[in-house]
Amino acid sequence: MRSDAIKRGVARAPHRALLRATGQLRDEADFAKPFVAVCNSYVDIVPGHVHLQAFGQVVKDAVREAGGVPFEFNTIGVDDGIVMGHEGMRYSLPSRELIADCVETMAAAHCFDAMICIPNCDKITPGMLMGAARVNLPTIFVSGGPMLAGQDGEGNSSDLVTVFEAVGKHAAGQMSDERLFELERISCPTCGSCAGMFTANSMNCLCEALGIALPGNGTIPAVSPARRDLAREAATRLLDLVRSDVRFRDVVTPAAIDNAMALDVAMGGSTNTVLHVLALAHEAGLDYPISRFNDVSDRVPHLAKVSPAWDGPRQWHIQDVDAAGGVPALLAELAKRPGALHLDAPTVTGMTLGENLAHAANRNPACLRPLANPHSLRGALSVLFGNLAPEGAVIKVGAVEQHEQLFRGPARVFDGEEEALNAVVNRRVSPGDVIVVRHEGPRGGPGMREMLALSSTIKGIPALSASVALLTDGRFSGATRGLCIGHVSPEAAEAGPIGLLRDGDLISIDLGARRLDVALTDAELGARRQAWQAPEPRYTRGWLARYARLVGNASSGAVLT
């Protein structure tokens, strides 16, 4: 065992003395057992993680019962909803790299034999995946589970994006103080990751399709007793993986990533998943170009519209997906289409993905549409290319209305989210405009902030809701809906085309053709690039200054170089 490096032989007597002092080794026999890292992300300020201290104890007890010795450590966690719309959001994406470094450091330095990861929200799941890819131990992910949706006295459901959009309606005079306060109080009623198909739930569902988590990981509610049963089962399976020496990179292959993205585009997951999957592929040493996402989307239909998307008059939430059969039910629908999935891909269950789906059943074809009745024949995420995005830009096309598939309008250029939000709130943006928010990329931001405050405010203003487009070299929350295009690459800080735009430049968006273009010749773009000057860095010291110097392009996952 790897842990023999810290516990075997006469020379390791000092190491064993320290290990005894932890109280985790209860008798001499424990020194012969696998040492299991329990990587938890418990923090008090994140509602998706506030319950994970107790949840981690369930996992540790199960690891011990299964024959391992658990050693728990914690990562940091940034709550994207709480840091949204201010300087704190600049730390969100960079926190992913810190978490990956933390996982690698703890697992490698202490010679653990295996690892069970307990993530839930925002950048924690991808950060742990990246760290797990580096250390390549037998590993299982078991998330803390999704929040239940809120419900008002009339039976209307709500979630976090409901509140963000309500702020826009309130600013437009379309909602009273009393109604806004009611939504604030009821929309996040339990612990867990926010109740829609936002980034956290998207990533936790993707872990199932990747094969690195057990069925149910993405959808069983945080407050359900079944979530604790899943944790116990995961701990038991982990010790089986140790005995059979099945490691992280044995499971996470290009085929597994294809399966994960097939699920993502079928269920309309967050655009952030593209960024995180590219980063995971990088850490796993896999060649997975951003253009491959479109290849997957071309062969996989869009089968589920979950909040923030609307399915006609109805808005589904993660608890509805779980009641319908969860991720296995959706994957089983996809499995009916030849070539949509790699069914022979191994998983941590000890069976192939196809074998895992043998008994899956779709219990609500209105929520999870059957293959014969998709929302669209092409998946719900697209990577756009063109002279405005030579290296790609990403949109959740499944949350865009049909009349918005083609859009052409003049650019309104803003250097930062606050400047754009101020213009929207004060009616300095007109219907037909393309709102361009730049210098918010990985390097230029730094940190590639999400724009949920801006996008949801636009959605809350009837005059603008369906009549403007929004594009940025930053990101959008998984709670975003509408014609919102992010990850425009190269970013403005690299003298990418988005950094060369001027007010009035005519921008064309064609989602069917996956094109994002500006009506400028190569010669004009070249002349503007010659005159371009790099902006002064926002930070000259501390973590964000180091991050800005080291971070790479969004088209390759915004990983540190």
- Express each pLDDT in 286-323 by its tens digit: 999 999 999 999 999 999 999 998 998 899 999 999 99
First to last CA, the chain: 32
Whether 338 and 278 share a structural domain: yes
pLDDT at position 551 is 98
Q: Mark residue 456 as left, alpha or beta (left: phi above 0; alpha: psi -120 to 50; beta: remaining).
A: alpha
Quote the mean pLDDT of the chain: 96
Alpha carbons 3 and 6: distance in angstroms, whole number: 6
Whether 236 and 176 share a structural domain: no
Whether 343 and 403 share a structural domain: no
Domain end position, chosen among 341, 356, 371: 356
Residues 6+ apart with CB under 8 A from 178: none
Each residue's pLDDT tens digit, 521-534: 999 999 999 999 99
Structural domain contains residue 4 = no
Structural domain contains residue 391 = yes
Give the residue-averaged pLDDT of 544-554.
Answer: 97
Whether 130 and 174 share a structural domain: no
Each residue's pLDDT tens digit, 7-57: 999 999 999 999 999 999 999 999 999 999 999 999 999 999 999 999 999
Give the residue-averaged pLDDT of 336-363.
Answer: 97
Structural domain contains residue 138 = yes
Each residue's pLDDT tens digit, 157-213: 999 999 988 998 898 899 999 999 999 999 999 999 999 999 999 999 999 999 999
Measure CA 114 to chain center.
Answer: 24
What CATH number is associated with residue 430? Answer: 3.50.30.80
290 residue type, one letter = I
Whether 127 and 63 share a structural domain: yes
Count: domains in the chain: 3
Predicted confidence band at 479 (pLDDT cuts at 50, 70, 90)? confident
pLDDT at position 378 is 95
Which amino acids are annotated catalytic? 477
What CATH number is associated with residue 248? Answer: 3.40.50.2300
Structural domain contains residue 212 = yes
355: tokens are 């074998």
pLDDT at position 4 is 97
Whether 502 and 393 share a structural domain: yes
pLDDT at position 103 is 98
pLDDT at position 462 is 87
Whether 316 and 398 share a structural domain: no
pLDDT at position 453 is 84
Predicted confidence band at 276 (pLDDT cuts at 50, 70, 90)? very high
pLDDT at position 199 is 92
Alpha carbons 259 and 211: distance in angstroms, whole number: 9
Whether 253 and 170 share a structural domain: no
Structural domain contains residue 345 = yes
Whether 109 and 179 share a structural domain: no
pLDDT at position 461 is 87
Predicted confidence band at 478 (pLDDT cuts at 50, 70, 90)? confident
In this structure, of 143-157, 329-343, 357-371, 446-460, the range with the lowest mean pLDDT score is 446-460
Give the residue-averaged pLDDT of 103-116.
Answer: 98
pLDDT at position 172 is 83
In the predicted structure, residue 333 carries a pLDDT above the cut 90 = yes
Predicted confidence band at 401 (pLDDT cuts at 50, 70, 90)? confident
Check: CB of residue 438 under 8 Å from CB of residue 414: yes
Structural domain contains residue 533 = yes
Range of the domain at 198: 33-148+190-356
pLDDT at position 506 is 98
Q: Is 164 helix (H, G, I), strand (E, B) or coil?
A: helix
Q: Find, among 176, 194, 187, 180, the residue nearest to 152 by Cα.
A: 187
pLDDT at position 480 is 81
Whether 508 and 496 share a structural domain: yes
Check: CB of residue 283 under 8 Å from CB of residue 100: yes
Each residue's pLDDT tens digit, 218-231: 999 999 999 999 99
Give the residue-averaged pLDDT of 45-74.
Answer: 98
Whether 173 and 132 share a structural domain: no
pLDDT at position 399 is 85
pLDDT at position 85 is 82
pLDDT at position 365 is 97
Whether 457 and 552 share a structural domain: yes
Structural domain contains residue 303 = yes
200: tokens are 């956290």
Query: Is residue 196 exposed (0-12), middle (13-18) or buried (19+ Cβ within 10 Å)?
Result: buried
Structural domain contains residue 313 = yes
Predicted confidence band at 61 (pLDDT cuts at 50, 70, 90)? very high
pLDDT at position 481 is 84
User: What are the strands of the beta sheet with 406-414, ordered from one edge?
Assistant: 389-395, 382-386, 515-518, 506-510, 406-414, 434-437, 469-472, 484-485
pLDDT at position 456 is 85
